[in-house]
Chains A and B, each alone.
Chain A
Amino acid sequence: MAISVMRLCRTYGEVTAVQDLSFEANPGEIVGLIGPNGAGKTTTLRCLSGILKPTSGQIVVGGCDMAQSPLDAKKQLAFMPDEPHLFEYMTVEEHLRLVGRLYGVHDIDQRAKPLLEELELVGRERLLPGELSRGMRQKVVIACGLVRDPPVLLFDEPLTGLDPIGIRRMRDTIVKRARAGAVVLLSSHLLPLVQEICTRVLIMDRGRKMADGSVEQLAATADFAEAGSTLEQIFLRVTGHDRPGDQQG
């Protein structure tokens, strides 16, 4: 089991962002984490990455408990956040080398070369974040996550700011990693893309897990069968937005 989440809860003061969330993910799986704004997707990913401490519950990454041995757990994962926050005065290649130093990867330059080509960052290695577009900064963040080839990949809205070609390439990149044995947890609002590449979908709403399974499995369940067979139709039914009044505007 690459990821195991048991009864995860996270609160911000009075607000409960994630409540009693449990799921597991295996190597090779691409799990789509979808839900309306404020559903708790980003909080879940930030807890999984070790940025946020869960209020309660247990997170195990690659057999390592995030609370008991956080360093071992963190070594096995890469978190690519939705906003590309980079160090203002560090170049693209320096960001990649920083990752090498943080995780003890010595051949980072050799690893970075094909990745920079894959993500179309060749020729921009010596630029600062301020000299890059938002989409390019997003690619740098993703490159920093992928460069050391970790077995667990956490993507929070990875396609935001990318052009159509970038989206296609990123989709291929994610699928390639999963086929190579990585477990991918992907949060996105692009439901057609999630339906296309994810082997499993986890729908969240108001901090709770509402549905979990492949699109086919969800479409076949009695509760959602009449909603339709696309992920969008299922999503609208699960979150209670498939009533006629919600479709206007």
Chain B
Amino acid sequence: MSAATLYIVICSARNRIGRRLARLLEPRYLVGAVAGVSYLVFILFIRQRAYGTRTVVVRDAGAAAASAGAFGLVGVAGGSVLLAFAAFACWVMPFTSGLLEFSRAETAFLFPSPLTRRQLLVYRLMRSQFAVFTGALIMALAYPTGTVVARPSNRAENFLDHYSPRLGYDTSPWFQTGFN
């Protein structure tokens, strides 16, 4: 990504965050923000604590629990295979990826400027992946999986599960067009 396109990403993110924070001075936005943060706290801490307690109880329940755990592992493995297949399919048939859709401002400013098509594609890719990355990270954090010790690795797995198919989906036209 060129310095100019990186400048767009940085300025837009900074101003967006600044404006959102400034809006908190208005009561209705402040109430909404408090509700949102409360919900996140509930999801991230209280539910996960409850999950941890339940895990301990189930561990003591013997063979039945072990069998359920094995079934769960198979489910996760099957899901991963399906996700991998979906990602591969998107690489092969990238019909509806939004990667090459530029906004009107991007068209007006970047298309007439002396940027190569490869630079434009890299910019668009990075722009789209930033949003996907954030979304996948939130999903991974929000899932209450495993004990406190196991959580970091589980979250990393969840994150990769959410992020990798989308990455494959978005980059497939990039390679298919050969940057042209």
Chains A and B come from one and the same complex: yes
Question: In the complex, what residues of B have CB within 8 A of residue A102's CB?
Answer: 4, 109-110, 113-115
A29 to B91, CA, bound (A): 50
What CA separation (Å) do A83 and B107 show in the bound complex? 12
Q: Determine whether the beta carbon of B12 is less than 8 Å from that of A75.
A: no
Q: Take A89-B19, A98-B7 as given contacts and tell me if A50 and B111 are in contact as well, using a CB distance cutoff of 8 Å.
A: yes
User: A188 within 8 Å of B by Cβ?
Assistant: no
Q: When the two chains form the complex, which single residue of B7, B16, B111 contacts A101, counting CB atoms closer than 8 Å?
A: B7
Point out the residues of chain A lying under 8 angstroms from B4, CB to CB.
98, 101-102
| Contact of B108 with A by CB under 8 A | yes
Q: Which of B7, B15, B106, B113 touches A91 (beta carbons < 8 Å)?
A: B15
Q: Does A87 contact B (CB under 8 A)?
A: yes
Interface magnitude class on chain B: 20 to 34
Q: Number of contacting residues on A, CB 8 A?
A: 31
On whether A144 and B15 interact (CB within 8 A), knowing A85-B104, A98-B8, A103-B114, the answer reads: no
In the complex, the answer to whether B105 meets A75 with C-beta atoms within 8 Å is: no
Q: Looking at the complex, which one of B3, B7, B107 makes contact with A51 (CB distance below 8 Å)?
A: B107
CB distance from A143 to the nearest CB of B (A): 13
A227 within 8 A of B: no
- Taking the nearest CB of chain B, how far is it from the CB of A142, in angstroms? 12
Q: Which residue of B lies closest to A84 (CB)?
A: B108
CB distance from A79 to the nearest CB of B (A): 5
Say yes or no for A17: interface residue by CB 8 A criterion: no
How near does chain A come to B107, taking the closest CB pair, in angstroms? Answer: 7
Selected contact of A74 from candidates B15, B19, B106, B114, CB within 8 Å: B114
Residue A86 at the chain B interface, CB threshold 8 Å: yes
Judge if A88 is at the interface, Cβ distance under 8 Å: yes
Q: Contact between B114 and A71 (Cβ–Cβ < 8 Å)?
A: yes
Which chain A residues lie closer than 8 Å to B113 at the CB level? Answer: 74, 102-103
Tell me, yes or no, whether B55 is within 8 Å of chain A by CB. no
Task: Tell me which of B3, B8, B13, B109 contacts A144 (CB under 8 A).
Answer: B109
Residues of B close to A91: CB separation below 8 A: 11, 15
Distance in angstroms between the alpha carbons of A90 and B114 in the assembled complex: 21
| Per-position 1/0 for B1-45, Cβ under 8 A of A | 011100110011101100100000000000000000000000000
Closest A-B pairs by Cβ, 10 of them: A101-B4, A85-B104, A71-B114, A89-B12, A89-B15, A49-B112, A102-B113, A51-B111, A102-B4, A85-B108
A contacts, CB < 8 Å to B: 49-51, 70-72, 74-75, 77-79, 81, 83, 85-91, 94-95, 97-99, 101-103, 128, 141, 144
* Interchain Cβ contacts under 8 Å between A and B, 25 examples: A49-B111, A50-B111, A51-B111, A51-B112, A71-B115, A71-B116, A83-B104, A85-B103, A85-B104, A85-B108, A86-B105, A87-B8, A87-B12, A87-B109, A88-B105, A89-B16, A90-B11, A91-B11, A94-B15, A98-B7, A98-B11, A102-B114, A102-B115, A103-B113, A103-B114
